[in-house]
Amino acid sequence: MARRPKSAKVRAEVKESRAEKTASYGDLQPAKGKLGIMIPGMGAVATTFVAGVEAVRKGIAKPIGSVTQMGTIRLGKRTEGRSPKIKEFVPLANLDDLVFTGWDIFEDNMFDAATNAGVLDRYLLEQIKPFLQKITPRKAVFDHNYVKLIDGPNVKKGKNKMDLAEQVREDIRQFKKSSGASRLITIWCGSTESFIQPTAVHQSLKALEKAFEQNDENIPPSMVYAYASLKEGVPFANGAPNLTVDVPAMHELSREHEAPICGKDFKTGQTLIKTILAPGFKARMLGLAGWFSTNILGNRDGEVLEDPGSFKTKEESKLSVLEHILQPDLYPDLYGDFTHKVRINYYPPRGDNKEGWDNIDIFGWLGYPMQIKVDFLCRDSILAAPIVLDLVLFLDLAQRTPELRGLGIQEWLSFYFKSPMTAPGLYPEHDLFIQLMKLKNTLRHLRGEELITHLGLEYYD
């Protein structure tokens, strides 16, 4: 049945009432006051993120790649024409309200660290130099056994890991006071730590705290920051593949303090492409014989990943993706026997400008083989920085939202991670498009909007 066109007056009224509804954000609390961002690890990703936020605030550049800043969300039926910007639909902190601090084993301020990282050009950095120079690193919690290939002087001393956690808690309280922030978020942008598996000390908060007191070797520095943050009621996101908050004891702490957590390992570069292509092959029921991924990169992250322990942590994170997307158990003829290899080579001349090659052996109708070659000349930190921005804004939203703040793991943020954390026993969703739908449907749900199922039969009634 044809729809009767609405009069201009009715259209204006509908628009106005929607604008009012959007401005009031329904039941969600508005983001009042400053949001303090605390970053363990002030290297390439962290400096590209902070410098980028300041450049956007000054109108020097645009926040490309950030879903919170550029993305829209369709509401209601396709015929309604309602697609507000995400940042207008839910109450996210304004970029002008962000304030920053961080910890690092090196003493460089953010301007020097950004210059060393070599991601952003000198011309851009010079325009925001005074701002970046004011952000100096606090003394880090560091243990050489967990990151073997770097060492630095700016490190805390303490009688055990609980004492170090207390010092980080003091840093957090001090930053909150000095910055005047009303809310805080911690996001780990530190190096990838050596591979460890969950042990008995990670199974309950009680066991974890005892392990902190006893200086147990199963507590890496990232857990010290995470514990300190959660104890202070501060949400924690993990940008590296380290275990950090992905153990039952941290889930417990997160729920107890209503401080949301998410991780692991920012989904940038090669894995981003993998989670775009693999769902496409599966959608068309094309088979996979093998996927060989290799990279050259020359930044400090690449240097750290030369150590077999740190590489193993990264490799586990990168390898899990295809298994989960392709579901070999459901499709043994297509994905029952594929070879998946990932290599990372430290090659200093490339700096942060990584090159990732993928050779993909697929097969089609009657088993005939085909090949796809991808050569992605990417900029790792340019892809990671908007993810950091979105995560801190969404985690802050989660903490202001009664329905989300006590859940612990924020699975709706899987979109941003190579190894999304999930409730125990639940397999992670890796397909980028399902992840995006999950994220947007979560936002619709929070605002009491209809979820979008793409069924669409009603258009043909």
Ligand X SMILES: NC(=O)c1ccc[n+]([C@@H]2O[C@H](COP(=O)([O-])OP(=O)(O)OC[C@H]3O[C@@H](n4cnc5c(N)ncnc54)[C@H](O)[C@@H]3O)[C@@H](O)[C@H]2O)c1
Residues that bind ligand X (CB under 6 A): 40-46, 103-106, 117, 140-142, 147, 150, 152, 189-192, 221, 239-240, 265-266, 268-269, 299-301, 304, 380-381, 383-384
Residue closer to ligand X by CB (options 334, 384) is: 384
Please report how close the Cβ of residue 449 comes to ligand X at its closest, in angstroms: 32
Please report how close the Cβ of residue 156 comes to ligand X at its closest, in angstroms: 9
Please report how close the Cβ of residue 134 comes to ligand X at its closest, in angstroms: 18
Please report how close the Cβ of residue 15 comes to ligand X at its closest, in angstroms: 41
Element (DSSP H or E) covering residue 187 = strand 181-188
Residue closer to ligand X by CB (options 103, 131) is: 103
Please report how close the Cβ of residue 120 comes to ligand X at its closest, in angstroms: 13
Residue nearest to ligand X (CB): 43
Q: Which residues pair with 293 in a beta bridge?
A: 342, 358
CA distance 191 to 432: 25
379 within 8 A of 354, measured Cβ to Cβ: yes
Residue closer to ligand X by CB (options 68, 381) is: 381
Please report how close the Cβ of residue 153 comes to ligand X at its closest, in angstroms: 11
CB within 8 Å of 39: residues ≥ 6 apart: 46, 49, 50, 100, 101, 102, 103, 186, 187, 188, 189
C-alpha triplet 70, 71, 72: angle, nearest 5°: 125
CA distance 130 to 111: 8
Name the residue among 437, 459, 460 with its Cα closest to residue 77: 459
Report how far apart, in Å, the C-alpha atoms of 15 and of each of 28, 46, 87, 113 are.
Answer: 21, 40, 18, 47
Residue closer to ligand X by CB (options 43, 52) is: 43
Please report how close the Cβ of residue 398 comes to ligand X at its closest, in angstroms: 21
Name the residue among 133, 128, 136 with its Cα closest to residue 104: 136
Residue closer to ligand X by CB (options 73, 432) is: 432
Residue closer to ligand X by CB (options 65, 152) is: 152
Residue closer to ligand X by CB (options 235, 269) is: 269
Report how far apart, in Å, the C-alpha atoms of 281 and of each of 262, 284, 319, 356, 369 are.
Answer: 28, 5, 17, 20, 13
Name the residue among 149, 168, 150 with its Cα closest to residue 221: 168
Residue closer to ligand X by CB (options 42, 334) is: 42
389 within 8 A of 49, measured Cβ to Cβ: yes
Please report how close the Cβ of residue 160 comes to ligand X at its closest, in angstroms: 16
Peptide bond into 264 cis (omega under 30): yes
Please report how close the Cβ of residue 241 comes to ligand X at its closest, in angstroms: 7
E-strand spans in 263-407?
287-297, 339-346, 355-363, 369-377
Residue closer to ligand X by CB (options 234, 407) is: 234
3 state SS for 54-76: HHHHCCCCCCCCCHHHHCECCEC
Please report how close the Cβ of residue 370 comes to ligand X at its closest, in angstroms: 30
User: Cβ of 345: how many Cβ atoms within 10 Å?
Assistant: 14
Name the residue among 415, 419, 273 with its Cα closest to residue 356: 273
Residue closer to ligand X by CB (options 229, 268) is: 268
CA distance 117 to 109: 12
